[in-house]
């Protein structure tokens, strides 16, 4: 008998948000079993499991499973609901990546549903639009790339779905029309997003649609207030009836094209019609007998694998969980992997990423030699190369047939570009801000090119059997979070709930695929569960 476990045994499902407020100290309560910092026991189930960042979305996913839907059906239903309920982290204007374990073929399948830059926006035109600015802005028309999420939904549904798409999207349509009570964290982030939009309103070539859609009463919905998005309900209904073509080559595409022409955005209907998600082979490494899988670039999952390869050379268990020595090694491994990320992670259709070399244990051994046991790296030598933040949803679902899906979706920073096409109810993403502008760089801007991407789903197997479907949220934190959770499970013997609840570090300031170079070692944020004496020792390294 299979037992699914969230936040145990046999096959595990895990959804871990980045704790942007750095909350949740260890030792906050007493328990009769398990580690004292765990917020609860792992949740177990026999016929399926869903883990999302919003209880209503998790409930929708479970309802779809109960109707006989597949894990992919349930994931689509949950993602559609989150597009309404958590627009601060995802939406139809964003991109999607997924890893699916298919029990029928006994294979992992990877999907890259990230959209490219507009064909009409050449590098010369972009530089002319930027003027003296050295980076692509986060708001307005210039960072907009093709939204890939809806094509990702349909592509995954065609291969792994069991229920009609209309039935899968029906719960989200109902909530969008009737409304839902806004939860505490989302209310906080809605308010923060609109403060940011107000500060950058001069970059928004059109803002009435944004404010009319998300602040119909004049201010963003507060905690407990009911929010409705009838425009999004109509958009989802069109997708339910017309599938991919309704969005990419039909009335929605026409609306996006007309709106973009009006507001100075270069995205066109032909860009939408030409886009198709890409099935990709997951990449992997072995860490202490566990095979860990990520998706290849243009995403950053490779960085997690590189960090694990470096850390495999150390006995972390004997050094102790969240000791100064362990954290130091994890942080230094992060710096080294992210230096490669800055130089080489890009759209492989435009740049030959040296995957085999970067994934090799030999390369990890070479990187390991740069780590001092008692001194932090301030810079990293090598051949040349605003990425620290990002708002994302991660979800994972398993069904009773044994299918598991690791799924991540995002508009990039906050709610995206701030531009909302007429009557569609969603914001176009700002992922294009992650291009480099220097000629010759792997991630340099080009029309039709996918930008470097931060969102990454993870998966792990033991002895050829699926073991863990997992992910974290939050820009450059994601590979760091993947590694910390895996070390908690593998090196320190935690259960899945403990591994997610344990206090984490976040290192920022590494060299970036957008051009920034680390010269001062960056900075480290520690959650409050890490002891003061550990903080003090790290400060002197």
For residue 250, the number of C-alpha atoms closer than 13 Å in the C-beta half-sphere is 10
Report helix, strand or coil for 541.
coil
Distances (CA, A) of 407 to 120, 345, 392: 31, 21, 11
Q: Could you tell me which of 322, 293, 307, 312 has the C-alpha nearest to residue 480?
A: 307
Q: Which two tokens stand for residue 94?
A: 């964003």
Whether 219 sits among the annotated catalytic residues: the reply is no
Q: What CA–CA distance (Å, rounded) separates 45 from 37?
A: 23
Q: Could you tell me which of 257, 252, 49, 42 has the C-alpha nearest to residue 144?
A: 257
Q: What CA–CA distance (Å, rounded) separates 273 from 166?
A: 22
Please give the order of strands across the beta sheet that includes 95-102: 48-51, 391-399, 404-412, 95-102, 107-113, 278-280
Question: Would you give the DSSP letter of residue 322?
Answer: T
| Owner of token pair 């976040």 | 506
171: Cβ contacts below 8 Å, ≥ 6 apart = 60, 63, 64, 77, 80, 81
Task: Determine how many CB atoms are found less than 10 A away from the CB of residue 373.
Answer: 10
Please tell me which residue in 155, 326, 392, 514 is annotated as part of the active site: 392
Report helix, strand or coil for 83.
helix
Q: Which helix (H) or strand (E) holds 219?
A: none
502: Cβ contacts below 8 Å, ≥ 6 apart = 26, 35, 37, 321, 322, 484, 488, 494, 529
- Which of the residues are catalytic? 392
């Amino acid at each position: 008998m299979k037992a699914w476990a969230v936040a145990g045994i046999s096959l595990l499902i895990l959804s871990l948000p980045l704790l942007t407020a750095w909350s949740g100290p260890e030792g906050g309560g007493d328990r009769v079993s398990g580690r004292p910092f765990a917020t609860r026991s792992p949740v177990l189930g026999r016929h399926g499991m869903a883990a999302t960042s919003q209880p209503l979305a998790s409930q929708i996913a479970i309802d779809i499973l109960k109707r006989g839907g597949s894990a992919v059906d349930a994931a689509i239903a949950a993602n559609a609901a989150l597009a309404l309920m958590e627009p601060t982290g995802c939406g139809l204007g964003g991109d999607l990546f997924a890893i699916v374990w298919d029990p029928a073929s006994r294979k992992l399948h990877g999907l890259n549903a990230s959209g490219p830059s507009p064909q009409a926006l050449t590098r010369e035109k972009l530089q002319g639009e930027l003027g003296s600015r050295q980076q692509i802005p986060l708001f307005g028309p210039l960072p907009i790339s093709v939204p890939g999420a809806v094509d990702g939904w349909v592509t995954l549904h065609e291969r792994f779905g069991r229920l009609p798409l209309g039935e899968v999207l029906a719960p989200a349509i109902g909530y969008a029309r009737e409304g839902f009570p806004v939860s505490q964290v989302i209310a906080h982030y809605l308010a923060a997003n609109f403060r940011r939009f107000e500060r950058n309103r001069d970059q928004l070539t059109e803002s009435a649609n944004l404010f009319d859609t998300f602040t119909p009463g004049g201010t963003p919905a507060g905690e407990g207030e009911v929010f409705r998005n009838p425009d999004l309900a109509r958009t989802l209904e069109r997708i339910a009836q017309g599938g991919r073509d309704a969005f990419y080559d039909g009335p929605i595409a026409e609306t996006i094209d007309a709106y973009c022409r009006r507001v100075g955005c270069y995205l066109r209907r032909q860009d939408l019609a030409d886009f198709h998600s890409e099935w990709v082979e997951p990449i992997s490494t072995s860490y202490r007998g566990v095979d860990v899988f990520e998706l290849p670039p243009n995403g950053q999952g490779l960085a997690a694998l590189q960090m694990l390869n470096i850390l495999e050379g150390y006995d972390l268990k004997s050094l102790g969980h969240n000791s100064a020595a362990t954290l130091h090694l994890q942080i230094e491994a992060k710096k080294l992997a992210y230096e490669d990320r800055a130089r080489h992670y890009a759209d492989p259709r435009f740049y030959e990423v040296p995957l085999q070399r970067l994934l090799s244990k030999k390369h990890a051994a070479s990187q390991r030699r740069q780590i001092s046991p008692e001194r932090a790296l301030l810079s990293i030598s090598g051949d040349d190369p605003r990425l620290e933040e990002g708002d994302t949803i991660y979800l994972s679902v398993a069904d009773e047939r044994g299918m598991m899906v690791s799924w991540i979706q995002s508009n990039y920073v906050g709610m995206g570009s701030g531009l909302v096409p007429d009557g569609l109810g969603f914001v176009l993403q700002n992922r294009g801000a992650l291009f480099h502008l220097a000629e010759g760089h792997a991630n340099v801007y080009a029309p039709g090119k996918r930008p470097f991407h931060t969102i990454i789903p993870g998966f792990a197997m033991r002895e050829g059997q699926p073991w863990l479907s997992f992910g974290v949220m939050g820009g450059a934190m994601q590979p760091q979070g993947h590694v910390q959770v895996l070390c908690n499970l593998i090196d320190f013997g935690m259960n899945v709930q403990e591994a997610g609840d344990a206090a984490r570090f976040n290192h920022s300031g590494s060299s970036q695929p957008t051009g920034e170079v680390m010269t001062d070692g960056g900075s480290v944020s520690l959650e409050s569960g890490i002891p003061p004496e550990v903080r003090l020792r790290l400060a002197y390294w």
